[in-house]
Structure 1
Amino acid sequence: MGRGEREAVARGGRLCEAAHAVVADHARAVDAVRAALEPICEDLAQRELDAIPVARLRDVTEGRLRLGEVEKGGFRTVREVLDAGPYRLRQIPGVGQQTAAQTVAAARQIAEAVRDTVAVHIDVDRPEPRITALVAALHVLVEAGPDARRAVDAAAALVERLGPLVTEARPASGRLRMLIAGQSRRERALAAVVEIRRLTAEAEQHGVPELLAQASVDLLRGPASDIAALVDFELRSAEYYSLLAEISGRRPDPAASEGFLPDDVAERVRAQTLDDTHRRVSLRGYQAFGARFTLAQRRVILGDEMGLGKTIQAIAALAHLAAEGQSHFMVVCPASVLINWTREIDKRSTLRAMPLHGPDRHEAFADWKGRGGVGVTTFDALRGFPVPGGGELGMLVVDEAHYVKNPQARRSMTVTEWAEHCDRVVFLTGTPMENRVSEFRNLVAVLQPGLADAIGDRAGVAGSKAFRKAVAPAYLRRNQQDVLTELPALQHTDEWEELSPSDEDAYREAVGAGNFMAMRRAAYARPEKSAKLNRLREIVAEAAENGLKVVVFSQFRDVLGVVKDALGESRDAVDGALFGPLSGSVPPVRRQQLVDEFAAAPGHAVLLAQIEAGGVGLNMQAASVVVICEPQIKPTVEHQAVARTHRMGQVRSVRVHRLLATGGVDERMVRMLENKARLFDAYARRSAVAESTPDAVDVSDVALARRIVEEEQARLGTGGHEEPAGSQ
């Protein structure tokens, strides 16, 4: 028995204690969420039970329960029955012990079902104390992130494996203990020391002690304030709701979240592991299943409805393959979303994103070939790159895959050639496929030719469930209403676009003239080559495919005019009515009429609105998609406009797309506004004064405009007369 053994036991003991602490800290954080959630859910359940008539108790007993005397006794709702209990019911003339017991038992059965299905909606615009407490409790776990989850999993494994060994090795921690221990006990202690050394060395090699230490700090750190937690919820509500669903156990129907796949396919997907080592965000249950589907089935179409996170599911699959040792991946997408892909990869994972686009794309491709990472390129640029050899590419991801539905198109042939040299291929499209069987067959032919041959022309006519069963090995689609158990969430997406050459020319002219407002709308000055307008068309087209209504906001009437012309040209190709523009010059009564007509229009429709005219006093909750054509100088204006759609009465999630151009006025505005005192704005925005006078808390238009104009003139080497910030 020597110092080495004593030190080994001590190190093992310290590591085991740290693991115990992390498990306990995580359990306390989860218990805090449950404690905050319980009274909210109970209140929601009681309200719902108060709205269920006593007559519904007959349904539970298949009509056998006699409730006439109970109803005559003045009991109107299930909640009143529960509050009364069997004793009070027996006091009603004609109600015996058996009827009273059966009535209360039926009421309890309904109450249990209601408690299992109530959904909590977090309204940050009207946060009452219990909701605020819930968000603050959730904030601890959301802020700790996936690293904390990994730490807890590692800690639990260490406690299970290391705990008994530390106990077994206790005699080896001192000479006297070893002396008084029997021969068998000493041998077991020394064997335990050997195993402790191995486990602690393995843990240290993988950075587990540091992971545990950081997790303990994160799990014990609360939000700076309730306001900080509420603001953070606004920025990443999906992560909060995902965690809430997990802890509460109120998850969507498993069959729906698994896309109603046949049992054999679903079981294979469930058995697929998903490594999160290179991922920076947690996944919702259906998203984890989608990532597993792409891995288990290898060559597939992920066709989730817009807003469900197809991008993060693809990134999760790439991160898993990177953890398995794959080094090279390729994402092919329209130019309009290339920047968004690179930003999402950087934000959501530790993978290296490499844009392979523009004049230096061949040098970038050579760098990607040598160093690896996720290459992100366009359909057109892909044609100029050499096709990789077999096994060289870990996964090929094709976004907006309906772009390659025509097998005779050059882009389709290029993608097909790349797919033939890659074992794993994922096509992403939010366009439903049931009614486009021929197009769907063309996509499947690239992925699984044998399956494509088996899909008949009438496959979609048989109904969506029959269609999905037929194509299950290659196609997974989930709808929002099937997998989002909470009430509508608000999802923000910044759509970063690279200006086209003609956009750049218009922008330079505006900068040279010192015209701030012209700089802000330069991206629409030449519609035929507008990058933002092209992306807007894509967003509206996808919304049309899914039957969703869209509101398009801009500060500028001329921008709305350009948008109207552009969308008007495509109305023949995309069914749906076009309303507006709704501007300050439209009388208030007519504004409301436009909104009512928009809401009453069947299926897809688009409403164009000037942001300050449409963002005040009008309820547009018929819309599920919001497009903001340019960043706003006053954040409160944008917030109020979005609030017109995302409010009580909205029955779907609201997806907000803010169109932004890189490298110019948009990027500078976003950066400056993000650097403001965010918490102060959040507090002020929720006050009555802020709602009525948003100017009171916003930055000065003139000061911000002058600063941006000067910086852009310096960057571009232009100069000239500076026009007033308010120029239209």
Structure 2
Amino acid sequence: MGRRERETVARAVRLHDAARSLTDDHGRAVEAVRAALRPIQDAAVEQGLDALPVARLQDATEGRLRLAGVEKSGLRTVRQVLEAGPYRLRQIPGVGQRTADQMVGAARQLSDAVRETVAVRIDVDRPEPRTTALVTALHVLVEAGPDARHAVGAAAELVERLDPLLADARPAARRLGMVVAGRARKARALKAVEELRALVAEAAEAGTPEALAQASVDLLRGTSDDLAAWVDFELRSAEYYGLLAEISGRAPDTAAAEGFLPDGIAERVRGQQLDDSRLRVSLRGYQAFGARFALAQRRVILGDEMGLGKTVQAMAALTHLAAEGQSHFMVVCPASVLVNWTRELESRTSLHVTPLHGPDRHEAFAYWKGRGGAAVTTFDALRGFPAPGGGEMGMLVVDEAHAVKNPKALRSQAVAQWAGHCERVLFMTGTPMENRVAEFRNLVRMLDEGVADRVDDRAGLPGSVAFRKAVAPVYLRRNQVDVLAELPALQHTDEWEEPSASDEEAYREAVRSGNFMAMRRAAYARPEKSAKLVRLREIVQETAENGLKVVVFSHFRDVLGAVGDALDTGRRTHGPVVGPLTGSVPPERRQLLVDEFAAVPGPAVLLAQIQAGGVGLNIQAASVVVICEPQVKPTIEQQAVARAHRMGQVRPVRVHRLLAPGGVDERMVEMLRRKARLFDTYARRSAVAEATPDAVDVSDTELARRIVAEEQERLGFATGSAASEPLLDAGTGLVADERSSSA
């Protein structure tokens, strides 16, 4: 009997040691971040205190201090008072021990307040030793990823469960331990051994030992070099900032993060469990709350401002339900974001994803019904599918839900029918609804008729707080400024748009002719049916709804013309369209156009050719940048974005790059991604590279020829003809097309 018990205890000890080792490794990685963060915070606090005049000490002491003598002594700022200390302060005429102590105490109080509010910004364009140390420390944890975070959580739980059991089982671990133990001690040991056996078996079945070992390896691997960490930070800065906020304890104001919900609803949401084991990305605190809100309230509208990650919150809710045993989920969205949804679900969750779009959508629907997972379809396609039976669907998610605000529209009726058959429904919209009460009520009626009946047309008039209180059971909205303590200054989103049939036809014609430039702008060749233009209008409209300005960049003048025509009918909602700013516009006139754009009091759109608008201009008025097609050099895009994302820009900048899958866009993105590290190694930190995008040509003259040849082969066109040898500009490696692209 003794040998079996000893083996069980030994296995439990090994599992405990592995769990303890992982928690220690993780603790050291976290402490490394805190150590790197400390001097940056200290410097930021000192800078903040330098900006506070001595007179602010009166605020902390309710005006009891007399500071005239202090200011005359040369101490002008709160920081100088702190550095002077009580001894030097007492040397000032009229300042005694009590006054000096009060001044130092008030200064420390202000210092603590500044430390609570100071935000750490990591400037990727001006790396210095302190920020490099922070980025490399964060890189270890970001690179380890969500799997390591889950493993650390499992390790902490194992240590907590194993500690008391191993203590009780100690007699069974030694040959004579049970012989000398008393009856009660022996009984506790045998019971503990049985519980250890079950716990070890449970961990083995779940693959926990392997997960612990892999997580330890990932945490100890470290970063290859500083440059690799900086490159990774640029690619996924939001993950770095999210982790930084979590470690620093700089959580946003709780009420703001919870959308100022009434206490009763907020408490219920906080009590909702969230299983993120099937999610491949880490959640920020407010995002976890949003997912819990959708789960706890069951039928809701998530109305967060653009850039706060509504999609990942929806995915968190879906994966939680999948972990609970739900098998079928439906995502309904505009056709322009169907590819995005499909890719996000595939890369960020473990759910099986089935797009329901195109001529084979009914076969795909039957497959999804049998296979399960997440189906992604469009508003129009949903009308052709039968509504589910009761209890069949885990959750219905409707993106850009403001598109179904009109109850008379067929798409609205289809969504309403599906929503009526689903226990859980999540509508998503970044459009603020406070001033659109009638439209909002139509959406709410699909979710909760009782709440809809209580919302009258005057609900939004007293202000957003009154409106949110009235609709709190079904509506959650947070703004960036309220919930992002360390606000990412720059957010990149690749918008993959499924080409329309007309887009595909135009693209095939361009490939057949071997015209690289025509291939790049084929998505806009037939504007009336352009999928990219549909998405661009949506981005501009949502930007305007949030009171922001947008700049649209393209390499091609005729693309900008198509964009201008497409936006022309909506000027009353998105504001004036300024430009286009092209290479043919004299330099002095270019800045006048930018000034005209900045002077518009509300939303506006600036159209700019990327080579002309991306150099030498300051476009800080724009908070959103749209790039119509991928550029052949990373520097071209980077310099264009830098026109908006620069000193003087007080809001974060969101960059949307419009891409079409399967063709020239995808091939360019793949090639440029492979070259990105080489570019960063040799050019990114170079003053010469900052001066001109042609300093290092990472898009060599073979890029266009290679893509044309590969696309002709993929689409079945004969190669080797003159058409497959596109005319190239030797100076840039681009296909020459002076009529449409000259800058």
Bin for the TM-score computed over the shorter chain: over 0.9
Corresponding residue for 2:106? 106
Aligned equivalents of 2:124, 2:583: Cα separation in 1:
29
Corresponding residue for 1:462? 462
2:345 is aligned with 1:345: yes
Corresponding residue for 1:36? 36
Tell me, yes or no, if the aligned pair for 1:333 and 1:377 is still in contact at 8 Å: yes
1:376 match: secondary structure = strand
Q: Deviations over 1:483-526 (max 9, x none)?
A: 11124421111111121122122111111111100110111111
Corresponding residue for 1:655? 654
Aligned equivalents of 1:508, 1:206: Cα separation in 2:
50
1:694 match: secondary structure = coil
1:444 match: secondary structure = helix
Equivalent positions of 1:243-322 (< 5 A) are 243-322=243-322
Equivalent positions of 1:660-679 (< 5 A) are 660-676=659-675, 678-679=677-678
Aligned equivalents of 2:234, 2:620: Cα separation in 1:
19
Tell me, yes or no, if the aligned pair for 1:58 and 1:65 is still in contact at 8 Å: yes
Equivalent positions of 1:395-434 (< 5 A) are 395-434=395-434
Corresponding residue for 1:724? 727
Aligned-partner residue type, residue 727 of structure 2: P
Tell me, yes or no, if the aligned pair for 2:634 and 2:676 is still in contact at 8 Å: no
Tell me, yes or no, if the aligned pair for 2:241 and 2:488 is still in contact at 8 Å: no
Tell me, yes or no, if the aligned pair for 2:498 and 2:531 is still in contact at 8 Å: yes
Shift of 1:179: 2.8
Aligned equivalents of 1:713, 1:516: Cα separation in 2:
11
2:461 match: secondary structure = helix
Shift of 1:679: 4.9
Aligned-partner residue type, residue 22 of structure 1: L
1:656 match: secondary structure = strand
Shift of 1:675: 2.2
Tell me, yes or no, if the aligned pair for 1:635 and 1:698 is still in contact at 8 Å: no
Corresponding residue for 1:623? 622
Tell me, yes or no, if the aligned pair for 1:487 and 1:651 is still in contact at 8 Å: no
Aligned equivalents of 2:207, 2:94: Cα separation in 1:
72
Aligned equivalents of 1:255, 1:184: Cα separation in 2:
52
Corresponding residue for 2:592? 593
Equivalent positions of 1:130-145 (< 5 A) are 130-145=130-145
Shift of 1:93: 1.0
2:494 is aligned with 1:494: yes
Q: Deviations over 1:427-477 (max 9, x none)?
A: 101111000000000000000011100001100001100100110001011
Q: Deviations over 1:83-135 (max 9, x none)?
A: 01111111011111111111111111100100111100011111111001001
Aligned equivalents of 1:356, 1:449: Cα separation in 2:
30
Corresponding residue for 1:562? 562
Shift of 1:400: 0.6
After TM superposition, the structure 1 stretch with the greater mean CA deviation from structure 2, 169-178 or 10-19, is: 169-178
Shift of 1:326: 0.3
After TM superposition, the structure 1 stretch with the greater mean CA deviation from structure 2, 161-170 or 109-118, is: 161-170
Aligned equivalents of 1:119, 1:546: Cα separation in 2:
24
Shift of 1:392: 0.2
Tell me, yes or no, if the aligned pair for 1:231 and 1:682 is still in contact at 8 Å: no
Aligned equivalents of 1:348, 1:623: Cα separation in 2:
30
Q: Deviations over 1:40-97 (max 9, x none)?
A: 0000000110110000111111212211221222210000100011111110111111
Corresponding residue for 1:48? 48
After TM superposition, the structure 1 stretch with the greater mean CA deviation from structure 2, 186-195 or 433-442, is: 186-195
Corresponding residue for 1:577? 576
2:306 match: secondary structure = coil
2:223 match: secondary structure = coil
Aligned equivalents of 2:574, 2:277: Cα separation in 1:
44
Aligned equivalents of 2:599, 2:251: Cα separation in 1:
33
Aligned-partner residue type, residue 169 of structure 2: A
Corresponding residue for 1:685? 684
Shift of 1:265: 0.8
Q: Which runs of 4+ in 1 moved over 4 A?
A: none
Tell me, yes or no, if the aligned pair for 2:704 and 2:726 is still in contact at 8 Å: no
Aligned equivalents of 1:155, 1:315: Cα separation in 2:
25
Q: Structure 1: state its 5+ residue gaps.
A: none
Aligned equivalents of 1:604, 1:682: Cα separation in 2:
39
Corresponding residue for 1:206? 206
Aligned equivalents of 1:125, 1:679: Cα separation in 2:
17
- Number of residue equivalences: 727
Shift of 1:148: 1.7
Aligned equivalents of 2:535, 2:138: Cα separation in 1:
35
After TM superposition, the structure 1 stretch with the greater mean CA deviation from structure 2, 647-656 or 464-473, is: 647-656
Q: Structure 2: state its 5+ residue gaps.
A: 729-734, 738-743
Tell me, yes or no, if the aligned pair for 1:172 and 1:189 is still in contact at 8 Å: yes
Corresponding residue for 1:530? 530
After TM superposition, the structure 1 stretch with the greater mean CA deviation from structure 2, 612-621 or 280-289, is: 612-621
Tell me, yes or no, if the aligned pair for 2:574 and 2:605 is still in contact at 8 Å: no
RMSD between superposed Cα atoms in Å: 1.3
Aligned equivalents of 2:610, 2:147: Cα separation in 1:
40
Corresponding residue for 1:453? 453
After TM superposition, the structure 1 stretch with the greater mean CA deviation from structure 2, 200-209 or 32-41, is: 200-209
Aligned equivalents of 1:706, 1:679: Cα separation in 2:
21
Aligned-partner residue type, residue 377 of structure 2: T
Corresponding residue for 1:217? 217
Shift of 1:648: 2.1
Tell me, yes or no, if the aligned pair for 2:549 and 2:603 is still in contact at 8 Å: yes
Tell me, yes or no, if the aligned pair for 1:488 and 1:651 is still in contact at 8 Å: no
After TM superposition, the structure 1 stretch with the greater mean CA deviation from structure 2, 310-319 or 716-725, is: 716-725
Aligned equivalents of 2:82, 2:37: Cα separation in 1:
22
Aligned equivalents of 2:406, 2:618: Cα separation in 1:
41
Corresponding residue for 1:644? 643
Q: Deviations over 1:579-619 (max 9, x none)?
A: 11111121211111211221221121111111111111212
After TM superposition, the structure 1 stretch with the greater mean CA deviation from structure 2, 450-459 or 711-720, is: 711-720
Equivalent positions of 1:164-203 (< 5 A) are 164-203=164-203
Corresponding residue for 1:705? 704
Aligned equivalents of 1:309, 1:49: Cα separation in 2:
34
Shift of 1:692: 2.8
Q: 1:707 to 1:361 in 2, by over 3 A?
A: same
Aligned equivalents of 1:176, 1:334: Cα separation in 2:
72
Q: 1:352 to 1:409 in 2, by over 3 A?
A: same
Tell me, yes or no, if the aligned pair for 2:18 and 2:213 is still in contact at 8 Å: yes
Aligned-partner residue type, residue 463 of structure 1: G
Corresponding residue for 1:97? 97
1:644 match: secondary structure = helix
After TM superposition, the structure 1 stretch with the greater mean CA deviation from structure 2, 180-189 or 342-351, is: 180-189
Aligned equivalents of 1:137, 1:683: Cα separation in 2:
23
Shift of 1:682: 4.9
Aligned equivalents of 1:367, 1:606: Cα separation in 2:
44
Q: Deviations over 1:628-654 (max 9, x none)?
A: 000011111111111111122221121
Tell me, yes or no, if the aligned pair for 1:227 and 1:679 is still in contact at 8 Å: no
Aligned-partner residue type, residue 224 of structure 1: S
Shift of 1:556: 0.8
Aligned equivalents of 2:301, 2:149: Cα separation in 1:
29
Aligned equivalents of 2:188, 2:394: Cα separation in 1:
46
Shift of 1:412: 0.6
Q: Deviations over 1:690-718 (max 9, x none)?
A: 22343343334530100111111112222
1:461 match: secondary structure = coil
Shift of 1:259: 0.8
Q: 1:75 to 1:700 in 2, by over 3 A?
A: closer
Corresponding residue for 2:79? 79
Aligned-partner residue type, residue 412 of structure 2: S
2:657 match: secondary structure = strand
Q: 1:344 to 1:228 in 2, by over 3 A?
A: same
The two structures have a TM-score, normalised by structure 2, of 0.96
Aligned-partner residue type, residue 309 of structure 1: G
Aligned equivalents of 1:727, 1:46: Cα separation in 2:
54
1:579 match: secondary structure = strand
Corresponding residue for 2:608? 609
Percent identity for Structure 1 against Structure 2: 75
Corresponding residue for 2:362? 362
